[in-house]
């Protein structure tokens, strides 16, 4: 099994005629993702991606004509929030938003609407999600993955890829890998993902990649300590970051207290999570916990 997406997901690409949408949609098709439609306002009636994919003016049209239920968004920051809202309002159940730089006040509105509509939003500012050998939504390189029984959750795009590679190096493949994004306001949290992986019978272990700033890792760890039956290996990025310094992601800034890397590592250990001291140790620590 998997979480959130699989070979049966009926995929829509919003922003499909833009350069980024074109490039990554092509990659997703090659991976086997079931893309049925694209949306670019004003370009409805065309076909794209070598005439394989019809383009519609609106998500509502695409849903009505093709039955799509999952959307991936490659739309510039000024319009991305409205693209998410449009997808959610049209009944799309899973929306993955790759876009970086969406204003926080826009995301506050988005969060309220997707919650009201029961839409699962992944991102924004994320690499997407991949269920190995079934469906790739986003910019993750599919070739690095191997089918297996490990779930991967990460705030960081590049560290998602590194965690996957370290797992594969010790012979552990993945069920689903999900980059949740590092912005202050995102649609799906670490705890949300842990709940999904705990309920997935094929996932037997989980890797979480966190970073400095915020409380998300701590909230997830405390939930896992009480509710999770599967081993978790964690890594916290930004261990050398000084207080007040922003490190990459908009959410990765230390204000003091228990949002430092040191404090998070201590709390995760207290909650029974196995900690990898470096990225290169993730696979080794995870394999030891699975034995």
Q: Which of the listed residues 77, 93, 122 is the one where a domain comes to its end?
A: 122
pTM of the model: 0.93
Query: Do 209 and 283 fall within a single domain?
Result: yes
Q: What is the pLDDT along the chain (291 residues), one digit of tens a residue?
A: 689 999 999 999 999 999 999 999 999 999 999 999 999 999 999 999 999 999 999 999 999 999 999 999 999 999 999 999 999 999 999 999 999 999 999 999 999 999 999 999 999 999 999 999 999 999 999 999 999 999 999 998 888 999 999 999 999 999 999 999 988 899 999 999 999 999 999 999 999 999 888 899 999 999 999 999 999 999 998 765 555 555 555 555 545 566 788 899 999 999 999 999 999 999 999 999 988
In a domain, 238, yes or no: yes
Pick the catalytic residue from 24, 50, 105, 249: 249
In a domain, 225, yes or no: yes
276 contact partners, CB below 8 Å, separation of at least 6: 233, 234, 235, 282, 284, 285, 286
- R_g over Cα of the chain: 19
Query: Do 161 and 117 fall within a single domain?
Result: no
Q: For this structure, is 24 an active site residue?
A: no
Query: Do 106 and 206 fall within a single domain?
Result: no
Question: Which pLDDT does position 261 carry in this prediction?
Answer: 85
* CATH number of the domain residue 264 falls in: 3.40.50.261
Query: Do 101 and 160 fall within a single domain?
Result: no
In a domain, 6, yes or no: no
Query: Do 118 and 211 fall within a single domain?
Result: no
In a domain, 132, yes or no: no
81 contact partners, CB below 8 Å, separation of at least 6: 102, 103, 106, 107, 109, 110
Question: Which pLDDT does position 255 carry in this prediction?
Answer: 52
Query: Do 209 and 259 fall within a single domain?
Result: yes
Question: Which pLDDT does position 78 carry in this prediction?
Answer: 95
Cβ count within 10 A of residue 278: 11
112 contact partners, CB below 8 Å, separation of at least 6: none
Give, as one character, the DSSP assignment of residue 154. Answer: E
In a domain, 5, yes or no: no
Query: Do 150 and 265 fall within a single domain?
Result: yes
In a domain, 128, yes or no: no
End-to-end CA gap in the chain: 22
Range of the structural domain that residue 283 is part of: 141-290
Question: Which pLDDT does position 22 carry in this prediction?
Answer: 97
Query: Do 58 and 151 fall within a single domain?
Result: no
Q: In what order do the strands lie in the sheet with 120-122?
A: 47-48, 53-56, 35-39, 11-14, 70-73, 94-97, 120-122
In a domain, 16, yes or no: yes
Q: How many structural domains does the chain have?
A: 2
Question: Which pLDDT does position 96 carry in this prediction?
Answer: 98
* CATH number of the domain residue 39 falls in: 3.40.50.720
Query: Do 60 and 160 fall within a single domain?
Result: no
Query: Do 145 and 103 fall within a single domain?
Result: no
């Amino acid at each position: 099994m998997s979480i959130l997406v699989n070979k049966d997901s009926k995929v829509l690409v919003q922003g499909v005629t833009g350069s980024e949408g074109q490039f990554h949609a092509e990659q997703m098709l090659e991976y086997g993702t079931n893309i049925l439609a694209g949306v670019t306002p004003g370009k409805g009636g065309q076909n794209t991606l070598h005439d394989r994919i019809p383009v519609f003016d609106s998500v509502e049209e695409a849903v009505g004509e093709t039955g799509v239920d999952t959307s991936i968004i490659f739309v510039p920051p000024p319009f991305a929030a409205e693209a998410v809202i449009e997808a959610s309002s049209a009944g799309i159940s899973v929306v993955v938003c790759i876009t970086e730089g969406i204003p926080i006040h826009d995301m506050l509105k988005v969060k309220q609407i997707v919650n009201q509509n029961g839409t699962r939003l992944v991102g924004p500012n994320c690499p997407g999600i991949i269920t190995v050998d079934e469906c790739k939504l986003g910019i993750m390189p599919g070739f690095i993955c191997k089918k297996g029984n490990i779930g991967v959750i990460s705030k960081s795009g590049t560290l998602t890829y590194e965690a996957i590679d370290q797992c594969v190096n010790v012979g552990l493949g993945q069920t689903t890998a999900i980059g949740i994004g590092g912005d202050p306001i995102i649609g799906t949290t670490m705890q949300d993902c842990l709940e999904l992986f705990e309920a997935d019978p094929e996932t037997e272990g989980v890797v979480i990649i966190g970073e400095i700033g915020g409380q998300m890792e701590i909230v997830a760890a405390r939930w896992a300590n009480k509710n999770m039956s599967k081993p978790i290996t964690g890594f916290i990025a930004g261990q050398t970051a000084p207080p007040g310094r922003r490190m990459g992601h908009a959410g990765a800034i230390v204000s003091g207290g228990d949002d430092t890397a040191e404090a998070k590592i201590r709390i995760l250990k207290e909650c029974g999570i196995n900690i990898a001291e470096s990225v290169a140790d993730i696979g080794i620590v995870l394999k030891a916990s699975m034995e």
